Amino acid sequence: MSASPLRVAALAVGFALVGLIGCVAVFDGADTYREIAREEGIDGATFRSPPDLRWIVDLPGLTDLHRRTLAYVLGDAPELPMFAATTVPLFDENERLHMADVRGVFQATKLAFLAGLAVTFLVLRWTERSTRIRLVRDAAIAAGAGTAIVAVAAAIAFEPLFLLFHEVFFPQGNFLFGPDSNLLVLYPEPYWYGVTLRIGLAFVAVMAAFATVTAATLRRTRR
């Protein structure tokens, strides 16, 4: 018996919420930041603040700044980093406002993750045991295929998709910064490109594994 399209769609959404947010948690850390910087040949950067404050930071220092910024975004630190040995904020007022919005979005993802778990559990709980394996297979294929399409689009046209993402999640519009932005120094476009593809590819790989295992189980059952 085939699972209904509605249940397949609901479980695919559950898989996507849990899996993609889980992948964000895996790839948002210092190791990925350092890895992408090395891939791009970045071994340091210079931060500036008017009128004449200047701070040259090597890759370990950049990685530490990412760790501290991430701690703020995740709600584990009360404030964003400062310039070394000063009380001057590393980011200007607009950048700090945007990062406060990012912090709010990350708090919302915790609820989205729990919602994904609930959807996944309830759909499986309310599905007859005889069709659960087929349902998981179909939902994994749907979630993986949908994410793969977005990943391919991101690989081809990352900038417009990245802009669309910000327009959806930050409609207040405070996410555009000038070329001298310290936030862009810490997080250049190659970082976002690299981390986005890692998240997408990892999720697609997990969904492919789910689909493969459940398909093999169904074949054995038929025999």
Structural domain count of the chain: 1
Query: Is the Cβ–Cβ distance between 116 and 18 less than 8 Å?
Result: yes
Q: What is the mean pLDDT of residues 76-90?
A: 93
Residue 39 lies in a domain: yes
Domain hosting residue 51, numbered range: 5-217
- What CA–CA distance (Å, rounded) separates 49 from 63? 20
Q: How confident is the model at residue 1 (pLDDT cuts 50, 70, 90)?
A: low
Question: Is pLDDT at 84 greater than 90 in this prediction?
Answer: no
Residue 223 lies in a domain: no
Q: What is the mean pLDDT of residues 134-145?
A: 96
Please give the mean pLDDT across all residues of the chain.
93
Q: How confident is the model at residue 40 (pLDDT cuts 50, 70, 90)?
A: very high
Residue 130 lies in a domain: yes
**Nearest CA to 13 among 102, 113, 103?**
113
pLDDT tens digits, residue range 93-112? 999 999 999 999 999 999 99
Residue 222 lies in a domain: no
pLDDT score, position 80: 97
pLDDT tens digits, residue range 183-223? 999 999 999 999 999 999 999 999 999 999 999 998 887 76
Residue 113 lies in a domain: yes
pLDDT tens digits, residue range 15-32? 999 999 999 999 999 999
**Which of these ranges, 118-127, 142-151, 158-167, has the smallest mean pLDDT?**
158-167
pLDDT score, position 46: 97
Q: What is the mean pLDDT of residues 54-58?
A: 96
List alpha helices for 5-92, DSSP H: 5-27, 30-39, 59-73
pLDDT score, position 155: 86
pLDDT score, position 223: 63
pLDDT score, position 2: 62
- The string of DSSP letters for 123-174 reads HHHTS-HHHHHHHHHHHHHHHHHHHHHHHHHHHHSHHHHHHHHHHHH-TT-T
Question: Is pLDDT at 5 greater than 60 in this prediction?
Answer: yes
Higher pLDDT, 223 or 9: 9
Q: How confident is the model at residue 175 (pLDDT cuts 50, 70, 90)?
A: confident
Residue 172 lies in a domain: yes
pLDDT score, position 186: 97
Residue 173 lies in a domain: yes
